[in-house]
């Protein structure tokens, strides 16, 4: 059992005390059968009136249970011969389960049950029944026994009160011992709705402390990083002025403001730790280029890391186009660069012949060594873990403690998530799009109306525009109904013989992908049929129509990124989301959100509600996926108070801060933040 508990980061009695219930069952009262309501859990008692095995679409064991007020059906789809024997007419049962509407009226599917004697008094539980997070091999009965044993060690003074009175408002007035004892075993008269909603004062008390611990862990990381020395990068304007003069457009006010914030950070000897957020097409890359030029002008190297090869290639092409006229050499490093070419790139990086290095996670590898790394730019940070970001920091060079960091994301991060997962970073937001961009109109269409969509593509291309047609699969699959990209391309070439249509996908060789992409950019192709490789890093201003097949299979962030590939010119742009019926509730919800809003931050908030922080961040390294009692959406109103309290503790009470982190974060989470 110790091994199984260790897998849940439970190694001590204190760990058991802080392994809190997910929800509660009310088994403290018996509900008359006539008072049952659909969707509610309840305890009922009665006598088996009839039992039979029913053969329909699924074989099931059906029992009719009767009390003085009425009759209800108990239905079991999985049962044994012994079970049939034990549920004969005349047997009295006490059952617990959820009431549903079934073919015979109200039914309880697979309820828990136990026989009771005719003369035994009706004794129910005295407290609400906790339901704990678990894993295979650990039953709820085991958890109840373990928590009961742990509570015997919980006496006044056993756990240190770590929230200074008054620092955190009402939270510090609730004793932690009382909160834990109550939440492991709430009394029968406990406010069930408050507990279900996570709004009980004792839950808020612990949620506050847990969020505080996570915030402190990131602030501690920030404090450690800020204590190191980074190279001060003076603002030498020659390169930047030449760069801006060569651009065919002017920076927006938001770009200028953010560039000024970054310029100020880079000029200090304290490492910059800045997160740059901007919606699709807002111009983050140009701002990053200005930051890179400030480092290069001071004779320092820059590393730019992207999560995918196609995005890294796009950055490489952009920076080469911008920097080659300025006499700046670039290096290119991904997992596919091998042999002599790889050795040449590694040598150029080590000997400072390349001022800017662009690549994927290959930059993490031990053989990659920089001469003087002054600035690290990481695109789409949520696809990397905290430990990966730190690993790149260690490549700065012998005379540099820490390079400056600039983290970019085109996936807007909800404020609640930014305050929790990125508390170690300052935040800048480019909140406006370049002038001339037109809003994208989004429509949702059933796959059966495919002919109408094809006609729409023909009309757009006849007016001189271009279109993307995005599919979720490369090849046909027997298990998924998604239309394969290869089949879609062939079908479109037949339906639209007058148009130039080509396919691109992630399995192609880089040279082939680059050639096709360049042909599309040069308007030598009308329609680009693609998998989701075009999600990020593709900029074709003449493309005004985006078709996404089986859009219900994609998440909100991915749909928003794909839609952002159009609307980059002055022409009216459209995104058509095609779905396969029947559409599930979650798919319907996602498509409605995308259809109704172009606001990336609103979409990100909804994405957080649907997916939760762990999946949205794409990494366990933040520890947020392991929140035990706090909930970022529900408890977002606590975050301002959490932030101010964390700053007080990290500066004035470092010992208490350390104890809070140790109490709530297990060793792996703890170490990921150090």
Q: What is the pLDDT of residues 580-632, one digit of tens each?
A: 888 888 889 999 999 999 888 788 888 877 776 655 555 433 444 467 888 87
263 and 357 both lie in a single domain = yes
375 and 292 both lie in a single domain = yes
Please state which of the ranges 201-205, 318-322, 363-367, 379-383 shows the lowest mean pLDDT.
379-383
448 and 580 both lie in a single domain = yes
CATH number of the domain to which 253 belongs:
3.40.50.300
Is residue 665 situated within a structural domain? no
What are the tokens at 20? 């809190």
Is residue 261 situated within a structural domain? yes
Closest CA to 542 of 516, 517, 523, 562: 523
Q: What is the pLDDT of residues 526-576, one digit of tens each?
A: 999 988 766 545 678 899 999 999 999 888 888 988 898 888 777 889 999
The dihedral through the CA atoms of 604, 605, 607, 612 has a sign that is positive
Is residue 396 situated within a structural domain? yes
Which residues constitute the domain of residue 61?
A: 29-115
Out of 58, 83, 115, a domain closes at 115
Out of 81, 115, 149, a domain closes at 115
458 and 492 both lie in a single domain = yes
395 and 453 both lie in a single domain = no
Is residue 582 situated within a structural domain? yes
pLDDT score of 619: 43
Q: What are the start-end ranges of the H helices in 113-200?
A: 140-152, 176-184, 192-197
521 and 475 both lie in a single domain = yes
522 and 576 both lie in a single domain = yes
Out of 430, 457, 483, a domain closes at 430
pLDDT category of residue 179 using cuts at 50, 70 and 90: very high
Is residue 124 situated within a structural domain? no
Q: What is the pLDDT of residues 622-634, one digit of tens each?
A: 444 467 888 877 8
392 and 454 both lie in a single domain = no
Q: Which residues contact 359 (CB under 8 A, 6 or more apart)?
A: 303, 304, 305, 306, 312, 331, 332, 333, 334
389 and 514 both lie in a single domain = no
414 and 282 both lie in a single domain = yes
3-state secondary structure 613-646: HHHHHCCCCCCHHHCCCCCCCCCHHHHHHHHHHH
Q: In what order do the strands lie in the sheet with 330-333?
A: 330-333, 356-359, 301-305, 373-379, 404-409, 273-278, 426-430
Q: Helices 253-266 and 284-297 sit at what angle, rounded to 10 degrees?
A: 30
Give me the mean pLDDT over the 229-253 stretch.
Answer: 90
Q: Residue 569: is it exposed, middle or buried by C-beta count within 10 angstroms (0-12/13-18/19+)?
A: middle
| Mean model confidence pLDDT for the chain | 85
3-state secondary structure 553-578: HCCHHHHHHHHCCCCCCCCCEEEEEE
175 within 8 A of 609, measured Cβ to Cβ = no
425 and 471 both lie in a single domain = no
pLDDT score of 622: 41
250 and 309 both lie in a single domain = yes
Please list, residue by residue across 398-408, b when 16 or more beta carbons sit within 10 angstroms of its beta carbon and e when fewer do: eebebbbbbbb
Phi/psi class of residue 502: alpha, beta or left (left: φ > 0; alpha: ψ in -120 to 50)?
beta
Q: What is the pLDDT of residues 422-431, one digit of tens each?
A: 777 888 988 7
Is residue 514 situated within a structural domain? yes
Is residue 181 situated within a structural domain? no
Is residue 138 situated within a structural domain? no
CATH number of the domain to which 81 belongs:
2.40.50.140
Domain total of the chain: 3
């Amino acid at each position: 059992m110790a091994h199984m508990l260790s897998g849940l980061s439970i190694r001590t009695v204190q760990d058991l005390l802080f392994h809190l219930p997910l929800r509660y069952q009310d088994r403290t009262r018996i509900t008359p059968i006539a008072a049952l309501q659909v969707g509610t859990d309840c305890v009922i008692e009665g006598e088996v009136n009839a039992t039979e095995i029913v053969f329909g679409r699924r074989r099931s064991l059906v029992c009719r249970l009767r009390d003085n007020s009425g009759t209800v059906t108990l239905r079991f789809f999985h049962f044994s011969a012994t079970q049939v024997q034990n549920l004969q007419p005349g047997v009295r049962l006490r059952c617990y389960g959820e009431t549903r509407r079934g073919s015979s009226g109200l039914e309880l599917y697979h309820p828990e049950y136990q026989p009771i004697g005719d003369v035994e008094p009706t004794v129910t539980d005295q407290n609400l029944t906790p339901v704990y997070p678990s894993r295979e091999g650990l039953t709820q009965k085991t958890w109840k026994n373990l928590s009961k044993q742990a509570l015997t060690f919980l006496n006044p003074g056993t756990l240190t009160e770590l929230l200074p009175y008054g620092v955190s408002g009402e939270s510090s007035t609730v004793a932690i011992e009382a909160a834990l004892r109550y939440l492991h075993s709430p009394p029968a008269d406990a406010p069930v709705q408050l507990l279900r909603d996570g709004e009980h004062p004792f839950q808020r008390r612990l949620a506050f402390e847990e969020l505080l611990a996570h915030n402190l862990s990131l602030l501690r990381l920030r404090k450690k990083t800020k204590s190191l020395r980074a190279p001060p990068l003076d603002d030498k304007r020659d390169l930047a002025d030449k760069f801006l003069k060569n651009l065919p457009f002017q920076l927006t006010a938001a770009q200028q403001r953010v560039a000024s914030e970054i310029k100020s950070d880079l000029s200090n000897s304290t490492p910059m730790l800045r997160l740059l957020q901007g919606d699709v097409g807002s111009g983050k890359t140009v701002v990053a280029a200005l930051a890179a030029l400030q480092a290069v002008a001071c004779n320092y190297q820059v590393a730019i890391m992207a999560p995918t090869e196609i995005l890294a290639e796009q950055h490489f092409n952009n920076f080469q186009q911008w920097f080659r006229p300025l006499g700046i050499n670039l290096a290119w490093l991904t997992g596919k660069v091998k042999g002599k070419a790889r050795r040449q790139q590694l040598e150029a990086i080590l000997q400072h012949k390349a001022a800017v290095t662009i690549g994927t996670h290959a930059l993490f590898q031990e053989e990659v060594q920089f001469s003087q790394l002054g600035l690290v730019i990481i695109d789409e940070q949520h696809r990397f873990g905290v430990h990966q970001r730190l690993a790149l920091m260690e490549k700065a060079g012998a005379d540099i403690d820490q390079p400056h960091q600039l983290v970019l994301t085109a996936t807007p991060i909800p404020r609640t998530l930014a305050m929790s997962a990125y508390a170690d970073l300052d935040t800048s937001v480019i909140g406006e799009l370049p002038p001339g961009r037109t809003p994208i109109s989004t429509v949702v269409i059933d796959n059966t109306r495919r002919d109408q969509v094809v006609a729409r593509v023909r009309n757009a291309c006849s007016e001189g525009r271009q279109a993307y047609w995005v599919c979720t699969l490369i090849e046909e699959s027997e298990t998924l109904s998604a239309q394969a990209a290869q089949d879609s391309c062939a079908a479109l070439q037949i339906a639209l013989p007058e148009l130039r249509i080509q396919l691109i996908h992630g399995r192609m060789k880089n040279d082939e992908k680059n050639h096709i992409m360049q042909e599309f950019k040069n308007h030598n192709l009308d329609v680009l049929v693609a998998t989701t490789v075009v999600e990020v890093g593709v900029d074709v201003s003449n493309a005004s129509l985006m078709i996404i097949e089986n859009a219900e299979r994609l998440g909100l962030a991915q749909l928003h990124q794909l839609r952002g590939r159009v609307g980059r010119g002055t022409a009216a742009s459209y995104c058509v989301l095609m779905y396969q019926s029947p559409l599930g509730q979650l798919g319907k919800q996602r498509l409605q959100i995308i259809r109704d809003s172009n606001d990336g931050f609103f979409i990100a908030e909804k994405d957080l509600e649907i997916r939760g922080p762990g999946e949205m961040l794409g990494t366990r390294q933040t520890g947020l996926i392991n929140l035990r009692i706090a909930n970022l959406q529900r408890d977002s109103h606590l975050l301002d108070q959490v932030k101010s309290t964390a700053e007080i503790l990290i500066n004035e009470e470092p010992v208490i801060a350390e104890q809070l982190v140790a109490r709530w974060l297990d060793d792996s989470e703890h170490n990921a933040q150090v």
